[in-house]
Structure 1
Amino acid sequence: MPRRFLACAPALLRVLGVVAIGTAVSGCGGAGIEGTAVAAKDWGTPATSGMPTPPRPPNPGAATDATRIDAGSPVDPETYHDAKETDSSPAAPTIGFHFTTPSGNIRCSTPKEPTVLLCEVTDHTYPSAAKPADAKEPCQWFPDYAMITDEGVAAGVCLPRPLVTRGSKVLPYGSSIRMGDFGCLSTEGGLLCANDISGHGYQLSREALRTF
């Protein structure tokens, strides 16, 4: 979705001023997932009605997770710009970073300036995030998206259109990719991603969504 992603990138960046990010996941194994909506002023009324939740400190294991990511075999992130609008369309250059896990079950994208990392888990056994009752249009709820910013993490995102691309380059198992303040490690057990500024991140797999 090269052109569509280009058009959305500025709006996604403006989102950071009004994002409401809270504790989207409690514990491991996906139990207790709650939706956290994202909205920008030019998309209409924000989809959350309360005051933004203050960022929570990373858990004691965050440093260990960051070390694991840094220990991966680094790839050149500049080779991870191409993506497809659909599975059958040809790959084309974009201004963001995009990659897919070897299983094809997890896909991730960033805008031009990687201040937001969005990942989608296509097939999973944990519950999808529920759309907030006070979400206002225009709002397309993506229950299987997980998001990291420099303020925290969220499961479930409200956006005007899908922003995680398809048909992106595979990040091999054992490899790590750096995108601005974000780092991700691809393993056979799932995908581990973290933000260097906040120390927050998540581990995604078919069986669980773990946040820290």
Structure 2
Amino acid sequence: MRKAALIAILLLVAACTRETQGAPERIEPIPPRTATSSTPTTTTSAAPTRPPEPGAPVADVIAWIEAGEPADTEQYHVATREGTDTDLGSDVAFVTPSGKSNCMTDSRYSEGALACLVDLKNPPPRPEDAYGEWKGGWVDYDGQSLTVGSVHGDPGRFTAGTGRVLPYGRTLRFGDYACRVDPVGLYCANYAFGSAVRFNDAGIEPFGCLERQTPPPMIGELYRC
């Protein structure tokens, strides 16, 4: 009996040994560690150095305007005429260094739209249906539309005079607008409509969605988005 039991135990141990040897333990390899940088990489583009040419994408015009040195908007809430200052409240007034563009907003009547008196060399001719005092260099720009030349019985907002000079290379921000002046002209953009305009004595140049349209009575030129 003892001998039979001993044989059975030896057979069981041998079977377990074979099973263990036939299925060795598998060790998973440790994946290599990937080096990571704690400093994020950023891509920067150089600021534009030259004013946009006619026909340039409006994004380029806006980028060039924004690249200017910021002007203090608080300094442009006053207009002066014959030594008398007028507080414009939330409106702004400024003039280019050449004196060829005198600009002002008027929130009382035009919801803060920008108007400029530009000394145009060749202003739009007076329409045949126009009556009253024709001002060929009066430019209205509200972002969605641009008119050049219109009838005005009085100086309107410009009765207050002119604002401070906006120096070359400075960018003035107000409302939905940003303007920058350069010797080749004054550039203004309207963020609400994604349009822009260059004011120059040689002519008015629209950018973006502004396209030339047939003007209504008593308007010289019309551009609209």
Q: 1:109 aligns with which of 104, 107, 110?
A: 104
Q: Which one-letter code corresponds to 2:203 in the other structure?
A: A
Q: Which one-letter code corresponds to 1:121 in the other structure?
A: V
Which structure 2 segments of 5+ residues have no match? 1-53, 208-225
Secondary structure in structure 2 of the residue aligned to 1:92: strand
User: Equivalent residues in 2 for 1:115-194 (5 A)?
Assistant: 115-122=112-119, 124-125=120-121, 127-135=122-130, 139-162=132-155, 163-164=157-158, 165-194=160-189
User: Equivalent residues in 2 for 1:1-212 (5 A)?
Assistant: 61-85=57-81, 88-95=82-89, 96-112=91-107, 115-122=112-119, 124-125=120-121, 127-135=122-130, 139-162=132-155, 163-164=157-158, 165-212=160-207
The TM-score normalised by the length of structure 2 is: 0.59
Q: How far apart, CA to CA, are the structure 2 residues paired with 1:61 and 1:93?
A: 36
Which region of structure 1 is more displaced relative to structure 2, 92-101 or 202-211? 202-211
Q: What is the total number of aligned residue pairs between the two structures?
A: 149
The TM-score normalised by the length of structure 1 is: 0.62
Which structure 1 segments of 5+ residues have no match? 1-27, 29-58
Shift of 1:186: 1.0
Larger RCO (alpha carbons 8 Å, 6+ apart):
1
Preserved contact between residue 185 and residue 191 of structure 1 (Cα < 8 Å): yes
1:7 counterpart residue number: none
Preserved contact between residue 136 and residue 150 of structure 2 (Cα < 8 Å): yes
The 3 A distance-change label for structure 1 pair 68 and 152 is: same
Shift of 1:192: 0.5
The 3 A distance-change label for structure 1 pair 157 and 178 is: farther
Q: How far apart, CA to CA, are the structure 2 residues paired with 1:141 and 1:194?
A: 26
Secondary structure in structure 2 of the residue aligned to 1:198: coil
> Which one has a bigger Cα radius of gyration?
2
**What percentage of aligned pairs have identical amino acids?**
28
The 3 A distance-change label for structure 1 pair 208 and 135 is: closer
Q: How far apart, CA to CA, are the structure 2 residues paired with 1:84 and 1:129?
A: 28
Secondary structure in structure 2 of the residue aligned to 1:63: helix
